[in-house]
Amino acid sequence: IMLLIMGLGCEDEKEDSNLISDQNGCYFPVSATSISEDEIKQLILGKWEWQCGRIMDRAIPPPDNLILPGSLGHSIQYEFLQTDVVRIYRDQKLLEEHIYDVRKFKILPSDEYDVAYLYVDDGGAMIYHISADTLFFGTGSSDGRDDLFIRIQ
């Protein structure tokens, strides 16, 4: 199932060497983490609010590829539970529930690093960055969508 990822709000200012910004002030983490699968599963627990996104499509150049606050008129939150259920909220009202899993693996046996993937039902998205307050994942590396969330709980 395709992830419902839309929302409200980008941070106006941020100073962090692991973030890049576009001309509209939407910040995206670019550093990969070297934490374990279990650590990711612990970090992801809680409630996250969508901040901004970008569509990675060769036919849609920047800045037209950005999805910015207010473009949809509603907020989206994800709540990851210890029971491997993710609840998706629209304007703080429960919209859907899905099963999720986090896995780390090498794309090719010769790869130096493992990649981390977030699976919701049958669909997967690469976790580019996760920290105590930032979650950045998506399918943008293959003409898809990348989304940035911040922790709210």
Return the residue matching tokens 């046996």. Answer: 109
Top pLDDT among 17 and 152 is at: 152
Output the pLDDT for position 132.
Answer: 85
What are the tokens at 96? 């859907």
The answer to which of 33-37, 80-84, 143-147 has the lowest mean pLDDT is 33-37
- Is 11 within 8 Å of 27 (Cβ atoms)? yes
CA R_g for the chain? 15
Output the pLDDT for position 141.
Answer: 67
What are the tokens at 64? 């037209």
What are the backbone dihedrals phi and psi of residue 43, each rounded to the nearest 5 degrees, phi first? Answer: -65, -35
**pLDDT grade for 35, boundaries at 50, 70 and 90:** confident
DSSP per residue, 100-111: EEEEEE-SSTT-
Output the pLDDT for position 87.
Answer: 97
| Span 61-119, pLDDT tens digits | 888 888 877 787 889 999 999 999 999 999 999 999 999 999 988 888 888 778 888 99
Output the pLDDT for position 140.
Answer: 66
| Average confidence (pLDDT) over 2-11 | 36
Q: What is the overall mean pLDDT for the chain?
A: 79
- Is 60 within 8 Å of 69 (Cβ atoms)? no
Output the pLDDT for position 100.
Answer: 96
Alpha helices in the chain (DSSP H): 37-43
The answer to which of 10-24, 72-86, 97-111, 122-136 has the lowest mean pLDDT is 10-24
Most confident of 25-29, 57-61, 140-144, 146-150: 146-150
Query: Which pTM value belongs to this model?
Result: 0.77
| Average confidence (pLDDT) over 41-63 | 90
- Calpha distance 80→88 (Å, rounded): 9
